[in-house]
Amino acid sequence: MATINKPKILVVGAGAVGGFYGGKLAQAGADVSVICRSDYQVVAEQGFEIQSCWGDFRFNPTRVLNCVDEYDDYPDYLIVALKALPELDLPDLISGVVGPKTSVVLLQNGINVESLTAERFPNSEIISGLAFICVNRLGPGKIHHMDYGRLALGRYPYGKSTAAEDIAELFKQSGVPCSISEDIITERWKKLVWNVPFNCISVLGGGLDTRAILGTPDSVEFVRKVMVEVCAVAVATGHPLDLEVIDRNINDTIAMKPYRTSMLLDSEAGRPMEIEAIVGNVVRIAEGYGIDTPRINCLYSLLSLHCR
């Protein structure tokens, strides 16, 4: 493993997810800078205050910047923890900081979120990443990590990568469980098995947390049927999932602390939601393969109306 000595890392989108994992990389000895907007003043003066079930800590980034253009260097790793929104031209946003040796880590939800970046930077290493974590932003510079926290990383679109292995090792050194997958797209489908039902229902149910969503046998059965539809689309795309993933997701969610999903928090704050990346793309992929997904279609249509 060709580990970089004190790698330079730039986090674009230092909210709850980006701030937390940026802080963990700093604990492992990396040189971590962040792009902040709404939290800029507080973070520049005080850093991040992180309450974590793994132990509270403070994260003082090497540099705190207002925009990508202020970073007058090329990082070894560019970690993108922004919401995956259709109105965001991510390749254009990050073009000035993707150097010849920069690995772009897309730590985002949804499916088919990597293609535009991969097309724009064909000579750059694209690492697709998934965060399995319950973490929220409490206020400017304040992050609350409640449960879980493991990461799955992999070279996009598939295969092995020294760059992915190196940053995974950094995460492990800081105490973050981090696995490497040679088929990261399958891992994305596995996460969608949870994200599609719980994110959608939390919003459409009027503010339900995970425990309330699984509060009755009928609601559990509905969640299960949505998950079955996600698995059917994954199979059609050549990424078959073991249906055991459904029971595991439901049982793990019952066992975890009640959690208000990121989509629900965005909805309540009036922020854009990742509807297209998490749900809309699944609907369109299903239509392309002729897969019937009536429950997912219904959730997508209702969420689209909710946002009008």
Q: Annotated catalytic sites, by residue?
A: 191
H or E stretch at 25: helix 16-27
User: The tokens 């009027």 sit on which residue?
Assistant: 206
Q: How far apart are CA 110 and CA 84, in angstroms?
A: 8
Q: Which of 31, 93, 22, 33 has the alpha carbon at shortest distance from 65?
A: 33
What letter does residue 290 receive in the DSSP assignment? Answer: T
- Burial code (b: 16+ CB inside 10 Å, e: under 16) for 152-188 equals bbbbbeeeebebbbbbbebbebbebebebbeebbbbb
Cβ atoms < 10 Å from Cβ of 265:
17
Torsional sign, CA 269, 273, 278, 283: positive
DSSP tag of 4: P
Tokens of 12: 């674009």
